[in-house]
Amino acid sequence: MGIGYGYGKVILFNEHFVVYGIPAIASSIDKETIAEVRVYDGNKDVIHDGRDAVPGYKREKYRQQVESIKRIKNAMNIDENLDIWLHGSLKAASGVGASAASCAAIARAISDEFGLDYSDEEINKVAYEGEKAYHGNPSGIDNSCATFGGLIWFERDKEVEKISISKPVEIVMGNTGVVANTKKAVDGVLERKNIYKEKYEDIFKKAERLAYDARGAIEKENWKEVGLLMNRNHGLLQEIEVSSKDLDFLVELARDNGAYGAKMTGGGLGGYMVALTPGKELQNRVAKAIEKEGFEVLLTAIGNRS
C-alpha cells in the first residue's frame, strides 16, 4: 500500500489577487492530510474519506473529489482502479487548503504504490492538475504549500521562493463553519473586474504594493507591521466582495482581543479567517474569544517547515 501526505495552508496576503499574477504570501501549517492507496480489482475507484470535516463538506465536494482523482491519475498515467483512504490531522474545511492537501497526499501515495519516485516538483504539478477539479483556474499557491511546506512567496507561473524566519509564529484560524464554493468566488471577482475596470485596477495595484511591503516586514520579523498590513489586505478583499458577514465579525473580534492583525484567508465567502497572535498567551486569548462566540478555532503557526 502506498502512503503520502499533504500540508494544510494559510494565505497571509493576496488570495484572489494571486490568480492575476500579483504576488501572494502563504505558509503551511502543522496539520496534514494522509492518503493511503492500493490497486483495487473492482470496476471503479473507491474512496474512504475518514477526515474530520465541517458538516456538509464531504457531500458538497464529492463530485469534485472524484474528478480530482481522475485528473491526478491521468497526469500520472495510471489506468488501474484504486482503493483510497484519507485521514490525518487537517480538518476538511474551506480556507485551510484541504483539497490541495488531499491532492498532494494522493499523488504521493500513488507514486509510492507504483514505485514512481516522483520529486516534490513533480508531485506539485500533479496536485495542481487535481486542484483544477475544485477551483477551475487555481493559482497554484495551495498545492505549492501542500507540497513544499514552509513560508512561501508565490507568483503565478514562477518558481516558488521560500521566506525564512528565525522561529514559527503563532496564529489563530477561526472557522465560520460555512462550506465555500471557491470557484464561485473566483468567477465573481473576474465578472466584477470586467465591469468595474478602473476601480479594480486601483485595488489590484494596492494589493501588489502591499505584498512587497509585507515580505519586507516578515523578513525583518516586524510582526506589528505585518499585522497592520494584514488588516489592510482584508480591506482590499472586502472591496472585491469575497469576504462575508461571519468572516468580518471574526476578524473584528480577533483585533478587539489583541491580535496584531486579522483577515479572511482562502477563497472567502465562508471558510476561515486568520489572526496573527505571536506568543502562546495572546494566541490563547484570541482563541477563547472566538470560541466564546460559538465558532471553532485552529491554533497553529506559520513558518513551520521553512
Q: Where are the extended beta strands (E) located within 183-295? A: 261-265, 272-276
3-state secondary structure of 77: coil
Mean pLDDT, the chain, whole residue set? 95
| Alpha-carbon span 239 to 15, nearest angstrom | 13
Q: What is the pLDDT of residue 153?
A: 97
Q: Among all residues, which ones are annotated catalytic?
A: 142
Q: What is the pLDDT of residue 305?
A: 60
Q: What is the pLDDT of residue 72?
A: 98
Q: What is the pLDDT of residue 306?
A: 43
- Of 279, 284, 249, nearest to 264 by C-alpha is 249
**pLDDT tens-digit map of 143-171:** 999 999 999 999 998 999 999 999 999 99
Answer CATH for 2-162 from 3.30.505.10, 3.30.360.10, 3.30.230.10, 3.40.50.10540: 3.30.230.10
Structural domain boundaries in the chain: 2-162, 169-302
How does residue 304 score in pLDDT terms, banded at 50, 70 and 90? confident
| Alpha-carbon span 12 to 18, nearest angstrom | 12
**pLDDT tens-digit map of 173-224:** 999 999 888 888 989 999 999 999 999 999 999 999 999 999 999 999 999 9
The 8-class DSSP code of residue 303 comes to -
**pLDDT tens-digit map of 255-266:** 999 999 999 999
State which amino acid sits at residue 180.
A
Q: Averaged over 109-113, what is the pLDDT?
A: 98
Q: Averaged over 58-82, what is the pLDDT?
A: 96
- Superfamily grouping for domain 169-302: GHMP kinase, C-terminal domain (3.30.70.890)
